[in-house]
Structure formats: structure tokens, C-alpha cells
């Protein structure tokens, strides 16, 4: 059974002080004295997006540890120190040792890190040390005591040319003295830029980074805004704290990124940090947004350079580039995220998957990662462009076990025969606008199922594939969880099995009368019952004069308008809940993939709220008096406080009545987030 388990163990060798990375999939050990291990086959998840506080709560991440650790070897999380606000993403840090944040308490953070560590997945800390926010005024920093030592920065630790001279002007007004040193990198007009030549700054950051590794249990660092200070300081901090993994955000062309990586050597012979491959990201963005897949042929990215590809962390989207709002459109990939991730996960480098993409394409990404491991692709693999056209791009990547042939492009241009590939390759995955094929090699004998384990509505259609050059190989399978034998039920390679009941499907490859390889997956088949969802809304009392009427503009994820064109339909129907009067409208949810979105407004369409998306069950919303940057009123989901009980992990444990029911009254297991009925009450599973 081919399953992920990269197990990281740190061993201190007296003579060399090397860290060893062992993996059953890497076929050996790799000595580490650098910022990223060479020949590394792991995959990283960026476990957050901008303002995604609920999805990235430490408790929420920990609740997904079993699933996430099967796909990801590393998870990068936001800066975890207190920033003075519960709606702060962490990029204006105030405290280093106070580890409660918008994402949870220190105890929850430690529990989450340990939960993943016990499953072989390491947590990467976001280290923001280019700049620091004061706790009052411009220069007042907290005194923090750790292990009997008190650490505190002062105005003398701030670069004298910070904020283009504004900081110096303020210092003169207040009669305080800044550092005598200018900034060693780019200025950032937001917080005070720290003088990394200050011995006090160096001592504090060294103590802080070592605390993250040795005390909290992080395995590595993602350094924010490393263009803001010399790369040699990265070497100083990494040599002191000794992270297993380090990656810098050097947002620039790859020529400059190469120089930065080299400069993290400090006084050593090897770099102490990897870097994000921004040119890789730009190639993918241009291919998709300009609809010319020939952009993927560009060889100026880090993964095309043998000297630097071990230090290339590839990505296609992140929190700085995603679409946030109409007033903050950023620089997103506008479509085809499935193809973008198919390319990302097939190519060399260490791929970093964006959380939003994982949430939208989870089952597809799981299988792409399995295919990457099947072939044995690492951050030192090589690739060859096979086809580079406007409509599609194809490359062959050399893995440690076999070669993976990846095709990505316009949905209608990538078919089962695009491009034509000879019989030495076998297709293992396909979807809208992408194909994965692997080379059938002597000695490479694998059984393959093309659907990931998980929940499926109605049925799961799973292809059984023999990956082998042996002419007489056959396939057999079981559905009861038992190990298949040569006499188990036979199935021809390429056959699609339709599973209509939950089962564990185990496929065996038989050569010369014996089972030489098996793969096993569990499919939970859930019956989908078409149902309705009622959307409740009311403005808070302070807005009643502003909202004399209520309109619902409703549309589905496929763009179908449910209340006509903008601004939709005026709602007059109301219900009483929790002592309040709520406007309400009921909509149909006819398929498992149907979701409804809404904008609330008055009869003229102004004022209006921000978009509220992803509704599949009864939800309650209140319109707040606050507005976003575009002037639209913000909305809060208060479903859990309107006669609905919040479900904790403990509450889901067996009890006198352990049964849950969906809103149609059917008994179910609460595998998914949503609203259920238990003990005669609505409950929410998150």
C-alpha cells in the first residue's frame, strides 16, 4: 500500500552536528547542513489565507490532523505571537513570547504542533522580524522574560532611516535616539524596521527563534519580507536556532532570489535557507490569465537551475496574491486552479499548496500528491518540455521510481489523446484540463486506484490500474478490508468500479502467481437527499433606519440567479427566532455540489452588504453597522447563537443517543461540516 509517511527525526551527531532526514519513500538518508534538504520529496501546505481565521484556528487544524498528515509533510501557519488584536494576521508583531493570537491560545498551539508531529508532519512558523509594531507610540516595546532573561527592544534598535525619514522626525520631536545604522534592506512603511546590526536585536531574535524550535516545537521557519535586511542575518539566526527547514519570502525576480539564497551561507559553504520560486508562480499566472500555456516553458525559474532547485519552494497562489475583495483584488489566478495545482505537484521543487485550493480541490490534490510520490519526484528531479503550445503544455519529469508525464491546458484542448503518448506510458489521473501518465518500467510494479479515500455522494467510480511492464500481470480486489490473494475477484486494468455502498477497496497486482503490490482506500458513500436551506437575516438595531426594506440577491455557484437580476427580490416574509424578527427566504439545494450565495440590500440596491457565499443549510446572518473598504456593510454569521448548539470534539463522542440526522431526517455520520439534528436540536459540526 502506497501511503505517505515522511518521518522526521533529528539526531545530534557529536562530530558533524548534522540533521538526518529519513523517509520510507526517499529510499535512504540525506545528510543536512543546509536550509532545505536535498532530494526532498515532501509537500507543504500554506495552512491559511487572508482573514481566514476560522479555517486556521489551531483547534480546527488539529481536528484535521489525520487527514492533512496523509498528504502534507509540512504545514506553514501564520505568525503565532500576540499582535494586539483578534483580527490580525500576524504581520505586525508586538510580542514574541506571548503566544496567544487570533488563531488560538498557546496551549492550543502547542497541542496542534504536537498532534501533527506525532503523525510525521512538521509545522513551519511564520517569522516576522524585518519590522515590529510598538505597544504604544512609535518606539515602546514590551519587556518579555523567558527562562529568567528579560528581553526588550528600544528606539535605539530602530533603523535611523526608517519610513523614509518620518521615524527620525518623530524621534526628534520626542527627544529619543534611533540607531546610528541605516536599514540594510528595503524600507517598509508600516512598522518600525529593526536594525539587525544591533547586538540587542540579534540577541532577542536568536532567543526568539530558538524558542520557536526548542520549546514550541516548530520544525522550521518561513521568513517574511527578507528583502528588508541582509541575508547574512538569516544565516546567523538559522545557525543559532537550527531549524530543519527555512524558506525566505524574497519577492523579486529569480536572479535576485539566487543571490539571496547564496548570501544566506554567511560564513559557511552551503545556504542556510531556501526561497519561494516566484518566477514559477508568475509563469503559471501568465499561462492561465493570458490563456497561453506556452508560458510554462520558461526556464528562468529556480527549478530549472541545478544549483538552486534544491532550495526552490514552488507555489501558484498565496495570501498576498489571492483575490480578497473588489478594493483589494491583488494578483490572483483567475481560473483553472485545478490545472495550476496539477502542474505544481508534478514538477521539481518543494510544492506549497494554498489552503483555499486544498479546500476547493481536496480530492484531486490528494491524488496528485499520491502520483508525485508514486513517481518519486523530489526537489532535485529533472524535467523535459515535450510540447509547448497556446492550448496546452506537456513535460516529462524524471522521478526516483518512474517518470511522470504531465499535461495541462485549456479544458477542451486536453483530451484522453492529448498529446498522443506511446504504450510505454499509462494514464493514472485526468480531470478538466490535465492528465498524469507514468512510464511503465521493468521492475516498477504497482497497483493504482485513481480516487482518493473520503466521502462521496451516491457513488464512487474508481479506476483500477496495473502499472507494470510485465505482460502477464493481472489485478484482483476485495471490498471488505481483507488482503487480496491471487484467487480474489479479478478485474482488468482500466476497469472502473462503481461503488454504491461504503467499503474499503483493496487492489492487488498479481505477477507469476503472487500478489506483489497492493493499494487500499476507504470510500464512505453518503446518500444525498435534495433539501432546502432557509436564509435568515436582520440588520442590527442601530441600522434599522438605514434598512427600511430588505432585498435578497441570490445566485448559485454555477451563476444561476434565484431572485432575478440585481438587486434581487424584496423579502417580506419573516419568522421569530431567539426573540428577534428575521427576514427569511427558502431556497432549494438539489445536488451535492449546489451552493447558494447572497447579497443583502435595500430596495434600490444601496446600501448593500458584502457577498455572503457557500450556503448549503439554514443560516442566520446579522448586518453590522461597520463597512469594508468598498463601503459595503459587513455581515456576521450567527447561526450558532440562534438556538443552535456548538459541537465540540468531546460532544461528538458516543453517548446515550449517539445518532445524528440531516435536515431531511436521515440518520448520518457527521463527517462533514454542517448543520445536523441531535437530541431534537440543531447542532453545528465545524
Q: Distances in Å between the alpha carbon of 31 and those of 16, 72, 264?
A: 10, 22, 19
Which of 168-177, 437-446, 460-469, 592-601 is the least confident region? 592-601
Cβ contacts of residue 55 below 8 Å, gap of 6+? 48, 49, 355, 359
What is the pLDDT of the chain when averaged over all its residues? Answer: 88
Cis peptide before 419 (omega within 30 of 0): yes
**Chain centre to alpha carbon of residue 301:** 22
The percentage of the chain sitting over the pLDDT mark of 90, rounded to a whole number, equals: 73
**Burial class of 363 by CB neighbour count within 10 A (0 to 12, 13 to 18, 19+):** middle
**Separation of alpha carbons 609 and 619, rounded Å:** 16
Domain ranges in the chain are 42-135+193-276, 452-527, 531-638, 645-685
**Separation of alpha carbons 434 and 391, rounded Å:** 12
For residue 503, give the DSSP letter.
E
| Cell 517574511 sits on residue | 224
| Cα torsion 46, 52, 58, 59: sign | negative
Query: Residues 228-233: what's their mean pLDDT?
Result: 97
User: Would the pLDDT of 660 be above 70?
Assistant: no
**Chain centre to alpha carbon of residue 305:** 26
Strand-pairing partners, residue 520, are 506
Q: Which fold has domain 42-135+193-276?
A: TIM Barrel (3.20.20)
Picking from 155, 148, 158, the residue whose alpha carbon sits closest to that of residue 195 is: 158
User: Would the pLDDT of 227 be above 70?
Assistant: yes
Cis peptide before 246 (omega within 30 of 0): no
Give the three cell numbers for residue 589: 439545494
pLDDT at 662: 57
What are φ and ψ of residue 685, in 5° steps? -105, 125
What are the residue ranges of helices labelled H in 532-661?
Answer: none
For residue 216, give the DSSP letter.
I
**Burial class of 289 by CB neighbour count within 10 A (0 to 12, 13 to 18, 19+):** middle
- Reading phi first (left if > 0) and then psi (alpha if -120 to 50, else beta), residue 330 is in left
pTM above 0.85? Answer: no
pLDDT at 675: 59
pLDDT at 377: 98
List strand residue ranges (DSSP E) for 389-459, in order. 392-398, 403-409, 425-431, 434-439, 446-449, 454-457
Query: Residues 297-311: what's their mean pLDDT?
Result: 93
Longest dimension (CA), the chain: 87
Q: Strands 674-678 and 681-685, how do they pair? A: antiparallel
Give the three cell numbers for residue 575: 419568522
Is the fold of 42-135+193-276 the same as that of 452-527? Answer: no
Looking at 2.60.40, 3.40.50, 3.30.519, 2.70.70, the CATH number of the domain 531-638 comes to 2.60.40
The percentage of the chain sitting over the pLDDT mark of 70, rounded to a whole number, equals: 88
Picking from 126, 118, 203, the residue whose alpha carbon sits closest to that of residue 157 is: 203
pLDDT at 24: 29
User: Would the pLDDT of 654 be above 60?
Assistant: no
pLDDT at 57: 95
Query: Residues 319-346: what's their mean pLDDT?
Result: 90
pLDDT at 464: 98
pLDDT at 558: 76
Give the three cell numbers for residue 550: 430588505
List strand residue ranges (DSSP E) for 529-661, in order. 531-539, 551-556, 569-570, 574-577, 580-589, 596-601, 612-615, 619-627, 633-637, 645-646, 660-661
Superfamily of domain 452-527: Immunoglobulins (2.60.40.10)
Picking from 376, 377, 505, the residue whose alpha carbon sits closest to that of residue 448 is: 505
Amino acid at each position: 500500500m502506497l501511503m505517505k509517511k515522511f518521518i522526521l527525526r533529528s539526531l545530534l551527531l557529536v562530530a558533524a552536528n548534522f540533521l538526518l532526514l529519513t523517509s520510507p519513500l526517499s529510499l535512504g538518508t540525506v545528510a543536512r547542513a543546509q536550509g532545505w534538504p536535498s532530494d526532498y520529496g515532501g509537500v507543504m501546505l500554506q495552512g491559511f489565507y487572508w482573514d481566514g481565521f476560522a479555517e486556521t484556528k489551531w483547534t480546527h487544524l488539529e481536528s484535521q490532523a489525520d487527514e492533512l498528515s496523509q498528504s502534507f509533510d509540512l504545514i506553514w501557519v501564520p505568525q503565532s505571537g500576540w499582535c494586539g488584536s483578534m483580527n490580525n494576521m500576524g504581520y505586525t508583531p508586538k510580542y514574541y513570547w506571548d503566544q496567544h493570537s487570533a488563531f488560538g491560545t498557546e496551549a492550543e498551539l502547542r497541542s496542534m504542533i504536537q498532534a501533527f508531529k506525532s503523525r510525521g508532519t512538521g509545522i513551519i512558523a511564520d517569522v516576522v522580524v524585518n519590522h515590529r509594531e510598538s505597544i504604544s507610540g512609535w518606539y515602546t516595546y514590551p519587556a518579555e522574560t523567558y527562562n529568567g532573561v528579560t528581553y526588550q527592544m528600544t528606539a535605539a534598535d530602530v533603523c535611523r532611516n526608517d519610513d523614509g525619514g518620518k521615524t527620525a522626525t518623530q524621534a526628534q520631536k520626542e527627544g529619543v535616539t534611533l540607531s546610528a545604522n541605516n536599514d540594510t534592506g528595503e524600507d517598509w512603511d508600516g512598522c518600525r524596521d529593526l536594525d539587525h546590526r544591533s547586538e540587542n536585536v540579534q540577541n532577542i531574535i536568536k532567543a526568539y527563534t530558538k524558542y520557536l524550535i526548542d520549546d514550541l516545537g516548530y520544525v522550521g521557519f518561513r521568513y517574511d519580507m527578507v528583502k528588508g535586511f541582509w541575508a547574512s542575518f538569516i544565516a546567523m539566526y538559522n545557525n543559532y536556532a537550527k531549524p530543519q527547514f527555512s524558506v525566505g519570502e524574497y519577492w523579486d525576480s529569480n536572479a535576485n532570489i539566487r543571490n539571496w539564497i547564496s548570501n544566506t551561507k554567511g560564513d559557511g559553504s552551503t545556504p542556510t535557507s531556501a526561497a519561494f520560486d516566484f518566477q514559477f508562480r508568475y509563469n503559471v499566472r501568465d499561462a492561465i490569465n493570458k490563456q497561453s500555456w506556452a508560458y510554462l516553458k520558461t526556464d528562468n525559474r529556480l527549478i530549472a537551475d541545478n544549483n538552486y532547485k534544491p532550495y526552490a519552494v514552488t507555489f501558484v497562489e498565496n495570501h498576498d496574491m489571492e483575490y480578497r475583495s473588489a478594493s483589494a483584488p491583488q494578483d490572483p489566478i483567475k481560473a483553472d486552479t485545478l490545472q495550476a495545482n496539477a502542474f505544481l505537484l508534478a514538477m521539481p521543487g518543494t510544492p506549497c499548496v494554498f489552503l483555499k485550493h486544498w479546500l476547493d480541490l481536496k480530492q484531486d490534490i490528494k491524488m496528485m500528491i499520491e502520483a508525485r510520490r508514486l513517481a518519486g519526484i523530489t526537489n532535485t528531479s529533472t524535467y523535459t518540455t515535450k510540447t509547448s503550445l497556446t492550448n496546452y503544455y506537456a513535460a516529462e519529469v524524471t522521478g526516483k521510481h518512474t517518470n511522470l508525464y504531465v499535461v495541462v491546458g485549456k479544458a477542451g484542448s486536453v483530451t484522453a489523446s492529448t498529446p498522443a503518448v506511446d504504450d510505454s506510458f499509462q494514464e493514472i489521473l485526468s480531470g478538466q484540463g490535465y492528465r498524469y501518465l507514468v512510464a511503465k518500467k521493468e521492475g516498477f510494479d504497482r497497483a493504482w486506484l485513481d480516487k482518493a479515500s473520503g466521502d462521496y455522494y451516491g457513488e464512487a467510480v474508481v479506476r483500477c490500474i496495473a502499472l507494470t511492464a510485465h505482460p502477464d500481470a493481472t489485478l484482483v480486489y476485495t471490498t471488505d478490508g481483507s488482503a487480496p490473494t491471487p484467487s480474489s475477484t479479478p478485474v482488468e486494468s482500466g476497469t472502473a468500479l462503481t461503488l454504491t455502498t461504503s467499503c474499503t477497496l483493496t487492489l492487488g497486482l498479481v505477477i507469476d502467481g503472487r500478489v506483489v503490490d497492493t493499494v487500499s482506500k476507504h470510500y464512505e458513500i453518503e446518500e444525498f437527499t435534495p433539501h432546502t436551506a432557509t436564509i435568515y437575516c436582520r440588520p442590527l438595531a442601530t441600522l434599522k433606519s438605514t434598512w427600511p426594506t430588505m432585498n435578497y440577491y441570490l445566485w448559485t455557484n454555477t451563476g444561476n440567479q434565484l431572485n432575478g437580476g440585481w438587486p434581487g427580490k424584496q423579502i417580506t416574509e419573516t419568522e421569530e427566532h431567539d426573540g428577534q424578527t428575521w427576514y427569511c427566504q427558502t431556497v432549494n439545494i438539489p445536488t451535492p455540489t449546489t451552493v447558494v450565495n447572497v447579497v443583502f440590500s435595500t430596495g434600490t440596491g444601496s446600501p448593500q452588504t458584502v457577498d455572503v457565499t457557500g450556503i448549503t443549510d439554514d443560516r442566520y446572518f446579522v448586518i453590522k453597522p461597520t463597512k469594508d473598504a468598498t463601503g459595503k456593510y459587513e455581515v456576521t454569521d450567527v447561526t450558532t447563537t440562534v438556538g443552535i448548539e456548538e459541537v465540540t470534539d468531546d460532544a461528538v463522542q458516543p453517548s446515550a443517543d449517539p445518532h445524528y440526522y440531516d435536515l431531511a431526517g436521515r440518520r448520518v455520520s457527521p463527517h462533514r461540516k454542517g448543520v445536523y439534528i441531535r437530541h431534537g436540536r440543531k447542532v453545528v459540526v465545524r
